[in-house]
Structure 1
Amino acid sequence: MSAVELYPGRISPMGVGTIPHADMLTYSGLELLQRVIDGRYPAPPMAYQLSFALTEAEEGRVVFRGMPNEKHLNPMGGVHGGWAATILDSALGCVVQTLLAKGEAYATAEFKVNLMRPITANIGEVVCEGKIMHKGRTLAVSEATLKDSAGRLLAFGTETCSIFSVANLAAR
């Protein structure tokens, strides 16, 4: 695999791809995410398409950074709300993943996004921070914020994720 630029200044050394399912039996959720950050796994394909990346992960907290651009505009010339929803969904889900044991997986059951300010293609780098609110045996709830470089709130969201055995993931 060859390196790709996710957005200016942010490189994925292993290109784009997904985490091998077999590795989900070997590493905890946090370990898997740290391997993505460290460049030992490729960036997810949608992170490449949408110009964002996971940059920090610790138990109960993750940070994504992104740079929306002209590829993400709606017909009126603003960044489509789906861009904000996607980076929020990524943080909201990955923060749940930080608490998963080896052999556990998650899927979004529902999420809600509130868009507070318009996002433009020249906004620069934005920061999306996800935090865990509750984790049970089969469900987890998280919250995340999306802010510009001045710390202004652009959007926030909440999410409920189902937790299950990695054996229940669809075969590739």
Structure 2
Amino acid sequence: MDWSEIIARSEKSFWGLLGLRMLSADSKLVELGLTVNESHLNSMGIVHGGVLSSMMDQAMGTLVTAIKNGSQGVTTHLNVNFLSAMRSGELIASAYPLHETHRTMTLRSEVRGEDGTLACISTATFRLPRDSK
């Protein structure tokens, strides 16, 4: 799969607005990076939960695309648990497959800080397109 075309399109979307970077992607693991800046923080000076949730959702969506050879899915359910506050530095979102049916895929994700601190975890279900193989 040619990720360069997908990433180029993504740079103009929410992915680009957040400042996400593709670190690695295959059908078993996707890793995305983000350098925290002031625009990622909430009024308490910690990374906004929406940023962390979006990172995990994007990592899992990218994994669906990797598993399905370019076909994309749509998030139908996202469950997030926040564990540790993040304030600065590099964040890495990792996504792993859990279960797949004919029309859905369930995945898990986590975000860790550069020191390995676990910021949050999530699971999500994605609806697959009808022609997905």
- Distance, in Å, in 1 between the alignment partners of 2:115 and 2:45 is 22
Alignment of 1:103-118 (within 5 A): 104-118=71-85
Do 1:113 and 1:155's aligned partners in 2 also have CA atoms closer than 8 Å? yes
The counterpart of 2:92, out of the listed 124, 127, 134, is 127
Query: Which structure is higher in RCO with an 8 Å CA cutoff and minimum separation 6?
Result: 2
Paired residue for 1:154? 119
Paired residue for 1:74? 42
In the alignment, does 2:57 pair up with 1:89? yes
Higher CA-based Rg: 1
Unaligned runs of 5+ residues in structure 2 are none
TM-superposition CA deviations, 1:27-62 (whole Å, max 9, x none): xxxx15x3358x6x3443222221221221111311
Paired residue for 2:24? 56
- Identical aligned residues as a percent: 22
The counterpart of 2:4, out of the listed 17, 35, 52, is 35
TM-score (norm 2): 0.87
Do 1:50 and 1:68's aligned partners in 2 also have CA atoms closer than 8 Å? no
Query: How many residue pairs align between the two structures?
Result: 130
Cα RMSD after superposing both structures: 1.9
TM-score (norm 1): 0.68
Unaligned runs of 5+ residues in structure 1 are 1-30, 167-172
- Distance, in Å, in 2 between the alignment partners of 1:36 and 1:128 is 21
